[in-house]
Structure 1
């Protein structure tokens, strides 16, 4: 078994404070190329924090539409190749066949070879509807979810340089958290952790420390959560996508102050819908 790399490491630095210079040390997150290989063929490579890579593989496979259920993954092997890490995923035969067919379809001539109609369609793919389920949140639960995420970020506590994604279940609190230098990676890792732990996306709330782009909405919808909370602001396309999917998008969360952009009826607050006891 390949030994795991450290998610963060100390590095020397020079610190300038009040006009004086001193030697110091800072913890910084590691960032390495992570490749996902299916059936011996590399499918994607991204820069990421080398932690929770099995969760990353499951979540990435799910949010990218490669699998519909974690049971479709037969095995995962993490291989450290020195300059980077290869996460080798073995799929059940029918799913592996479907992925090979998908690759053949995408391999045709499409202009530059990296973009084209297929790539645009994939980027703007319809998202799963999350209108089902009766989950509602009190306004204070929104603040508690984001606060709990910040408090639980162990890597960010020492580096101040990574994003976090958390899953909160009303009555249980924060049940999963994952961190990464990439906001998309953190959310993929979280999705993997949540489904591996046996939780249903519709039973909880996804909270992130980043801005809300359309990819974040797509990934949260793949998990099945009808809530996406963030400390930063959303993009226009994220709002439009969340509206169509039936997702409640809450952003710019600052303590108990926040802004609701879609499906505000799920937030129970004295200023909107009557709070419940």
Structure 2
């Protein structure tokens, strides 16, 4: 067990029998973000990699562009506060009412489109990978999904190249997992030119926009996309690949980044 989980006593019913057992459950943790002394947002998240989460969230919302924009960051994990001081004052447009961002990933569209308008960008990367590499990467990604296998209650995101998986982050909120990855990229000064994002959840418009902000042109998910996400993927030059499972996958947009065939069947790539 780790900071991401708690043990609870349960009664398990299975095959007509019941037993008293201990079960490992995903932790849900509210983190209130203070920026330049003002309360900015409260995020409900998994209580690890909080520094990366703060950096990624601020970058995703257009408050910062690089890690160097942050003068100081301190996190009080006991009280659930992150104190961030920037080198610049917040713009008037950034000073909104306090926002509560739940783990269910729901947001007001008027809120997140406001910041997306200035931070989403067309991806210029021309990185291409083989279809077999996509399947291998998803298999490696699944093997590293320890927290999901323990609890079944988190989303996971990974950063990879065609060579292999480089890192993964997990969180109860899919947007949090992506922000943790974004913060990691900023803090480690990682070039995203040849990178691939691997994701466990649905490809929604919010997910697609966060990928565009990182400047990554290839997104693999084991789940389905939404129509708005695919429209954005077309516009922002992102290859969206869904249902990457077993020996199959669906390439929805910008197919030129995926090459090679899995089999000789007509439904192969």
Give me the TM-score of the superposition, normalised by structure 1: 0.84
User: Equivalents in 2 of 1:224, 1:200: separation in Å?
Assistant: 9
Query: Does 2:200 match 1:209?
Result: yes
In the TM superposition, what is the alpha-carbon distance from 1:120 to its structure 2 partner?
Answer: 7.1
- Cα distance change on mapping 1:101 and 1:176 into 2, 3 Å: same
Choose which of 69, 91, 116 in structure 1 pairs with 2:86: 91
> Does structure 1 retain, via aligned residues, the 8 Å contact 2:125–2:215?
no
- How many equivalent residue pairs? 252
Quick one: distance in 2 between partners of 1:247 and 1:59?
20
Pair 1:160 & 2:152 matched: yes
Instruction: Give 3-state SS (helix, strand or coil) of 1:258's partner.
Output: strand
Structure 2 residue 126 is the aligned partner of structure 1 residue 129: no
Does the residue aligned with 1:206 lie in a helix, a strand or coil? strand
Where in structure 2 are the equivalents of 1:1-277 lying within 5 Å? Answer: 6-82=3-79, 85-93=80-88, 97=89, 99-103=90-94, 106=96, 119=111, 121-122=113-114, 125=117, 127-130=120-123, 132-171=124-163, 173-270=164-261
Structure 1's unaligned 5+ residue stretches are: 108-113, 273-277
- Measured in 1, the distance between the counterparts of 2:148 and 2:262 equals 34
Q: 1:178 to 1:8 in 2, by over 3 A?
A: same
Aligned alpha-carbon RMSD (Å): 2.2
Whole-Å separation in 2 of the counterparts to 1:56 and 1:12:
31
Equivalent residue, structure 2, for 1:110: none
Check whether the contact 1:164–1:183 (CA below 8 A) recurs between aligned residues: yes
Cα deviation code 1:57-102 (max 9, x no counterpart): 11111111111111111221111354xx111112112xxx2x2422
1:125-155 residue CA offsets vs partner (Å, 9 max, x unmatched): 362110x233101001111222222111222
Where structure 2 has 5 or more consecutive residues not aligned to the other structure, the ranges are: 98-106, 264-269
Residues in 1 aligned to 2:135 and 2:117: alpha-carbon distance in whole angstroms: 31
